[in-house]
Amino acid sequence: MKYKELIAKMTLEEKASLMSGKDFWQSQDIERLGISSIFFADGPHGIRRQAVAADKLGLNEGNPATCYPTAATVANSWNAELGEKVGEYLGEEAIAQKVNVLLGPGVNMKRNPLCGRNFEYFSEDPYLAGKMAASYIRGIQSQGIAACVKHFAANNQEERRMSIDTIVDERTLREIYLTAFEIAVKEGQTKSIMSSYNKLNGTYTNENLHLMQDILRGEWNYKGTVITDWGGSNDRIAGLIAGNELEMPTTAGETDAEIVEAIKSGKIKEEVLDECVDRLLDLIFTTEKVYKKPQSEFDIERHHRVSQKVAEESIVLLKNEGNILPLRFGKKVAVIGDFAQDARYQGAGSSIVNPTILDHTLYCFEESGIVSIGYEPGFERYGKKSQKLIDDACALAEKADVILLYLGLDEATEAEGLDRHSMKIPENQIELLDAIYEVNKDIVLILSCGSAVEMPWIDKVRGVLHGYLGGQAGARAILRVLSGDVNPSGKLAETYPLHYEDTPSYRNFPGGEASVEYREGMYIGYRYYDTANVNVLFPFGYGLSYTTFEYSDLQVNKDGVKFKITNSGKIAGMEIAQLYVGCKSDEIFRPKKELKGFDKIFINAGESKTVYIPFDDKAFRYFNVKTNQWEIEEAEYTIMIGASSIDIRLVDTIFVEGTGAPIPYDKKLLPSYYSGLAHNVSVEEFETLMGRKVPVSTWDRTKPLGYNDTIAQCQYAKGLIARMVYHLILFSYWFLRKIGKRNAANIIMMSIYNLPFRGIARLTGGLVNMPMLDGILMIVNGNTFKGLNHVFKERRKMLKISNAKLNS
């Protein structure tokens, strides 16, 4: 241990006190030993340090900070160097705000396009997500503070996220849902990791010994700190044994006392606590060093320009019929759509950033050189229909040469804690598009949203430019692409299916009441669509440019691939070359192709450049469930170089020697997985893949409600008060949506409806403790008066202890 002498000076109570927060955003300090508190702040795409009331959870506005494009946006740049630059600037701003640990990046897979937090995650592909995350982490930590990669692991939906049990087979877990974390740990050297809320195969992630000890600490040799998601601790002792150092936020000493008692009773050894304290001390001491130097404010304008550069490189041109873009000089443009006036530039939830500057389309036209003849909102942002808004927009559209139509998803649709209900753009926006199409067919659609949407209307527009969520400078960046000042170079980091029903997880999202089964296995995103030959709207890795690129001269050897790209167009541009690998053997089921490398290259018009992409340790491996380790199958492998997952330009083969591991599967028993048609797997076949029975996915309505049951389950509680509270919550949600207060309605669902009862104690900063929660559960389960008496008795006891501490 690094801090053995210091730990020896601590009392048992002091050591235990370090294992939970001082308040909602700070770790505990021990002044007599020179151990300071460190500050945590949300921040996957900008620093969110709350300006006031730091003892309240996440609902107050943050100090002004640069709002960079979200991870889903930057992933479309496929530029790891750019990601590292974003990280460096995030680190600079964190230091300016005295933040020690930045809670990000998020690397969970986009298993399903409806996950409400997809805007915060990079990709459906673990290799791309991992490489981008590692670059962010290197940038953040180059400034002396810590990144905190999240949410570990298999947290791929928001609905019931604090109680859902993710059921996934070991190979899929390793290859799809852990690979990005592995890259973040090994290549990014992240100093901290946030455990997720959910269970994984029956055990909460921060208590899961297989996940936390066998894999994270054992196989990956992780030496850093594990921090719970806020309110994500279930059994504090089980978490400590698993190596979960820090529980956040504060529990007002309640779980510290549990740790002390567990050690005194012999339930756990003090050495386990000492090791956890040692790792946390390392996080504290290594991140506080930077604050011993004189601090300076960050350059707001320079950071804003960097945000714009990142947005420009992440914008994706999806359609450009007749080369309608870039806009010709002198064309009269009508700007229509509420998102043009009030930019949609970030997601909602704990990641909301209070921007230092905010560009809006209507204020940036003069410098863009685009001639605007006027603006109309065209639709009401949150879905209310208005024929007058449509009529006014059509009147303007008739006078224009080209329509710039700004559509997308609103802030209340893409939000932490809630999944989307569909992949559709709101109906009032589509009605606007249909009406404009009748008066002017030269429509360029600018899309603003952080996740995939259906586009059955795409034949009615000549151009589609997807800005995703481009941060505070995104509006100006889009205009620079429209005008031709910037040649678009982004490519999709996720597939856009034709219909939501085409997605492989469609039948198993968001799962049952108690669990979600990942029956599709490893076949998510392009791995499924390409293998099962399902047509998509836009494939993974797709994006257009204002120039053209030709690929040639592929050379493959045991170390990697080399090939040539020529810019055959008339203007300079950047191309993203993608390396895919497919195994020609059918002994072990695999996707048709998997991304194993990529590079982004700037090439002048008429110029050729040689590109080299090396093979790494992930190029040919698969996880063998019989040997319980990574193996290589001896076989011929197809090496594919593509401009997208389906636009393969160069192909060759290479023979790779294997590790001689036994074949882990009986092909006859797993037909869906061997064919790749894994969109409708039976429970029997899934159980064969799992190697065990899957748990019942419905709530047990015969048992009394307990700590890990959710408030939503009050619908069948024995207590009349509990059932009344349940219906009151539902009514409040309906009423708030009815009067247009959708954000407030979302908070009810996120913070109350799907909250486990233990969250009442874990997220109230000591206002409610676990003994008081026992009384609440008595009321819920029908013992109303006994429960009330218990609550008041425990409340008085808690206040008495608290007052005694204050007076001592």
Q: Which residues contact 292 (CB under 8 A, 6 or more apart)?
A: none
One-letter identity of residue 213 = Q
φ, ψ (nearest 5 deg) of residue 629:
-155, 170
Strand partners, 631: 622
Q: Determine the Cα angle at 464 with ends 460 and 469, to 5°.
A: 135
Q: Considering only CA atoms, which of 307, 384, 400 is closest in space to residue 338? A: 384
Residues in the chain: 808
Residue pair 569/326 in contact by the 8 Å Cβ criterion? no
Identify whether 392 is a catalytic site residue. no
**Any idea of the CA torsion for 710, 711, 713, 718, to the nearest 10 degrees?**
120
Residue pair 166/200 in contact by the 8 Å Cβ criterion? yes
Q: Determine the Cα angle at 31 with ends 30 and 37, to 5°.
A: 60
φ, ψ (nearest 5 deg) of residue 565:
-120, 130
Q: Considering only CA atoms, which of 672, 774, 690, 665 is closest in space to residue 515? A: 690
Q: How far apart are CA 785 and CA 788, in angstroms?
A: 5
Residue pair 633/588 in contact by the 8 Å Cβ criterion? yes
> Residue 326, preceding bond cis, omega within 30 degrees?
yes
Helix (H) or strand (E) holding 340: helix 338-341
One-letter-per-residue 3-state SS of 476-518: HHHHHHHHCCCCCCCCCCCCEECCHHHCCCHHHCCCCCCEEEC
φ, ψ (nearest 5 deg) of residue 637:
-120, 135
**Any idea of the CA torsion for 422, 428, 429, 435, to the nearest 10 degrees?**
130
Residue pair 67/93 in contact by the 8 Å Cβ criterion? no
> How far out from the chain centre does Cα 655 lie?
37
Which of left, alpha, beta for 126 (phi over 0: left; psi -120 to 50: alpha)? alpha
Catalytic residue among 42, 125, 165, 229: 229
Question: What are 480's two structure tokens?
Answer: 């620079």
> Residue 44, preceding bond cis, omega within 30 degrees?
no
Residue pair 50/62 in contact by the 8 Å Cβ criterion? yes
Question: What are the distances in angstroms from CA 213 to CA 98, 190, 222, 785?
Answer: 32, 17, 9, 44
Strand partners, 146: 101
Using only C-alpha atoms, what is the Rg of the chain?
Answer: 27
Three-state secondary structure call for residue 687: helix
Strand partners, 414: none
Helix (H) or strand (E) holding 375: strand 371-376
DSSP state letter for 762: H
Strand partners, 371: 332
Residue pair 478/470 in contact by the 8 Å Cβ criterion? yes
DSSP state letter for 46: S
Q: Which residues contact 465 (CB under 8 A, 6 or more apart)?
A: 315, 316, 317, 318, 325, 444, 445, 446, 447, 478, 481, 482, 488
Q: Considering only CA atoms, which of 574, 546, 576 is closest in space to residue 641? A: 576
Residue pair 352/67 in contact by the 8 Å Cβ criterion? no
Q: How far apart are CA 766 and CA 687, in angstroms?
A: 43
Q: How far apart are CA 120 and CA 197, in angstroms?
A: 16
Active site residues: 229
